[in-house]
Structure formats: structure tokens, C-alpha cells
Amino acid sequence: MKVLLLQPIIPSEILWGEYIKGEGFVPPIGLICIGGYLKEKKYEVKIKDSQVEKMTEDDLSGYLRENNFDVIGIPTFSNSVAFSYATAKICRKVLPNCKIIFGGVHGTIMPERTLEECSEVDFIVLREGEYRLEALLKYFEGDIEDLKEINGIAYRQNDEIIVQPAEGLVDIDKLPLPAYDLLDMSKYVPHPTQYKVLPNYPLVIQRGCPYNCAFCDAWAVHGRQIRHRSVDNVMKELRLLKEKYNAKGVYFQDSTFLVNKIYIKELLNRMIDEKLNLTWACNTRVNTVDKDILDLMKKAGCWMVVYGIESGNQKSLDLMRKRVTVEQNEEAVKITERAGLVACCSYILAIPGESYDDAMNTINFALKLKGTVGMFYLPIPYPGTDLIDICKEYGGLRDDVKWEDYSAVDFSNPVYINPLIGKERMQKLLGMAMRKYYTNPVIIWKNLRTIQNFTDVKRYFRAFRALFNI
């Protein structure tokens, strides 16, 4: 049985919007994790990343005809699900008898609607994909007789949509390493905000997040229970990336890197003792850092910490259930940069209930913090998040929204329009925030000070072109 794990076709101008000149690509970590598992189970599996290869419909059609796959798996996210649908149509047209399976956050949250909107998809795998996709393959091969034996899938049967709830969690320490060998790793250069040195690759060492921020849908697939891989397991992957793929840097893509400090300290000390000499970045929360852990991170090769600051208004932080204070945000950025690390801070403008002045306060707060990198967004109430209900309560949630509007880079047609501010002023706020931030002399100087070699020069030139669209 031939299996294809396929990144949907999404044109670069859609992926990156006006920031296309700074575009970047990272290996699809979800697909290579599933690919590694299926390889271990002796399935014939390939991964095709149509995004990094900038494939057209004709390119994909030709590839499918040449290979004649039995099963095609396609990930779904709300900001790109329209392209997952379009890619599934191409697959069905070329290979009418293949089984098309969706996975990912969007399909997990909205299985019924997804099956209704996309007639080409046969099954949806809910939550984590490794075990459930294997079970479906066994069903196709006749080793499992009844679909009702498989939990965590959705499908049609006799004109009825069946959703079988997902039960149980994957023991991620027992999974094989991701199948990097199924990709041409030389093609992956991340966005300039995501690396210090090249080659640079992502990895995930934990699944689950115990927090419940109102705007986040990450819990839908991996749940709220934290599971982490053993330190030995992680070190094995880091050595693989360094020795086989010449990695000089990595990005820990976990939602909250420091959620278990005891575990992370053990990992960092191993990285130091074994002299991995990798330059790396991570995401974490401001309430998880202190001077000692930041100093240890720096010693282990960390160069950047990414924080979701979100707002300079305490009422908005409380509404988004961040469980932190404005003062904690400020202190975390200070101690991060004192430790010699870059603070990358993200902000959301025009949160429900905010006035224009409130949004300006967040911009001014960002300028006060002066993190080396600042990213600004408008609210995006993704399906499955409590932000949808909050937007309904405060007003402004559009009733004519299309899946294409759920973009985190193109806010020309925002899903949510704050009634106290209005669409045009929201867009002006976003542009103003970027201009004010990156023309601030202190922030310019901070960025210039981080330049140490020609790679840094090229990285900042890419970022500058993307930011100002030149």
C-alpha cells in the first residue's frame, strides 16, 4: 500500500501576503513525525511538500499519475483549509480510487462541517495521527474488519456522518524519530525571524499545553496533558540533525518550552556536557522564566526566546485568560535581554472591548519594552477557541466570513472587526505599529548589535525587504 503525506498547494503570495519577500519554509513537522511512524511499521510512504517546491496543479497532477498512491493524507488548518479542499479535489480527479484522509487541528475541531464542505475526503483523523492512521491502513488492508473498532475518526456511512470520539494519548517517547530522510532538507530556509544560523530545523520535544488562552486552538490535537520525550530521545534527534543534516541551529516549536523546568534543565545540561554547539530558539510564557533558567539557556546555546505578550492592557490579558500581569510581561523581557538573549514579542491589537486608545496603549507598551523583535496581529477567532464566543459577546464577528479570511498575515478582510474601532482604523493601527516599532532608534540599534557575520547581514536584509515590501 503506497501512502502519500501531502502538504496542500498554497501559493506563496497567500502564505506570506505583503511579506512574501521574507518568505521562509520549515519542514512539516507533523507529516515527518507520522512518516517516521509509518516507515517503522513497514509502510511504503512518501512526503511531498508542495509549498516549499512551489508546485502548481499541473505539477501535482503529474506527480500523482507517476506514483499512483493508494492513500493520501492532507493536513488541515483553519487559515488554509480552503487549499486543503482544493488539493483534495486535484487528488480525487487524478486518482479517483485513492483514499483521501484529512488530519490536523481544523478537521479535529470541525469534522462534520469538513466532511460536508469537501466531498472528496473519505476520512478525518481526529487529534494525534500516528496510531489512528495506522489503524485506517489496517482497515483498508482487511486486518481490521469494522470501522467502529477505530476511535478518533470521522467518515460518511449511508449518507450519515459518523464521528467516533478520540480516546487515549500517544506515548511520544516510544515514537521513532521524524522521517527527515523523506524530504530534501536543503530546500528549507526559515523566515528570517526564526533563525540565527543556517542550516536551522524545527523539532518538537513535548505535546500538550496546560494553559487555556482564549485565542489558542493548539490543545485540540495534543490535549492539555503535558507529555515529553526522554532526554536521551531528544539528544538522539539533535545529534541526527547535526551530524546527518549539518544543522547549526534548531527551533524548539513546543507551545511552552519551560512548562517542566526540571526536565528542561536536564536537557540543557546534557546539551552543554555533550558540547552540541547548536544555536537555538524557543517559545515560552513570561511566567516560566527567571534569571537562573535564562542564564542556563544562554549557556546551552539559546539565542532567542519568543513570548506572547499580547497586550499592554490588564483587562485584555484577563479577557484572553493569559494568567499573567502587565508587570510580569515587562519584567520577563528585561531579564531575557539582560541574559544576553533576544526577546521576540508578539502583540494583538484591537482585542474585543478595547478602544482605539487601548490599542495605542499596547503599541506604546511594545515601544516601552523594546524587545529586539516585535510582531503585531489583529484578533483571529479560530474555530474551537473561546475567542469566538468572546467576539460574539462584544460584537464584531462577521457572519459572511470565508476560510480564506483566517489569515495571520493578510488582514485586508479580518474575521473580527472591533465595533469600537472599525475595520479601517484596525488596519491603520497594524501598519502604524510596525512602522513605529522598526523605525525606533533603540530597536534598530539592538538589531544591529546582533549582527556578527555575513549570514546575519543577509538575514536582516531579508527581514527588512519583507517588512517594508521593497
pLDDT score for 19: 66
At residue 464 the predicted structure's pLDDT band, cuts being 50, 70 and 90, is: low
Do 302 and 383 share a structural domain?
Answer: yes
What does the buried/exposed string (b/e) look like for 195-217 if buried means 16 or more CB atoms within 10 Å of the residue's CB? bbbbbbbbbbbbbbbebebbbbb
Distance CA 251, CA 388 (A): 30
Domain tally, the chain: 2
At residue 194 the predicted structure's pLDDT band, cuts being 50, 70 and 90, is: confident
Q: Report which of 253, 322, 336, 342 is spatially closest to residue 289, judged by C-alpha positions.
A: 336
Domain limits for position 256: 190-468
* Domain closes at, from 164, 199, 231: 164
The answer as to whether 319 is a domain residue is yes
Q: Report which of 191, 188, 187 is spatially closest to residue 21, judged by C-alpha positions.
A: 191
Distance CA 377, CA 248 (A): 30
Do 452 and 374 share a structural domain?
Answer: yes
pLDDT score for 258: 97
**HSE-up of residue 248 (Cα within 13 Å, Cβ side):** 7
Lookup: cell for 354:
478595547
Distance CA 85, CA 105 (A): 15
Do 327 and 283 share a structural domain?
Answer: yes
What does the buried/exposed string (b/e) look like for 91-130 if buried means 16 or more CB atoms within 10 Å of the residue's CB? bbebbeebbbbbbbbbbbbbbeebbeebebbbbbbbbbbb
**What's the pLDDT tens digit per position in 156-189?**
999 899 999 999 999 999 999 999 999 999 999 9
* Domain closes at, from 102, 129, 164: 164
**What's the pLDDT tens digit per position in 313-356?**
999 999 999 999 999 999 999 999 999 999 999 999 999 999 99
Q: Which residue has the higher pLDDT, 6 or 217?
A: 6
Backbone phi and psi for residue 46, each to the nearest 5 degrees, phi listed first: -130, 155
Do 298 and 377 share a structural domain?
Answer: yes
Do 418 and 376 share a structural domain?
Answer: yes
pTM of the shown model: 0.94
CATH code of the domain in which 343 resides: 3.80.30.20
Q: What does the pLDDT average to over 236-248?
A: 97
**What's the pLDDT tens digit per position in 207-234?**
999 999 999 998 889 988 999 999 999 9
Do 17 and 121 share a structural domain?
Answer: yes
Do 336 and 266 share a structural domain?
Answer: yes
Do 396 and 266 share a structural domain?
Answer: yes
Q: What is the mean pLDDT of the chain?
A: 94
Type of residue at 348: I
CATH code of the domain in which 154 resides: 3.40.50.280
Distance CA 136, CA 144 (A): 8
Do 159 and 209 share a structural domain?
Answer: no
At residue 20 the predicted structure's pLDDT band, cuts being 50, 70 and 90, is: low
Do 197 and 272 share a structural domain?
Answer: yes
Do 270 and 144 share a structural domain?
Answer: no
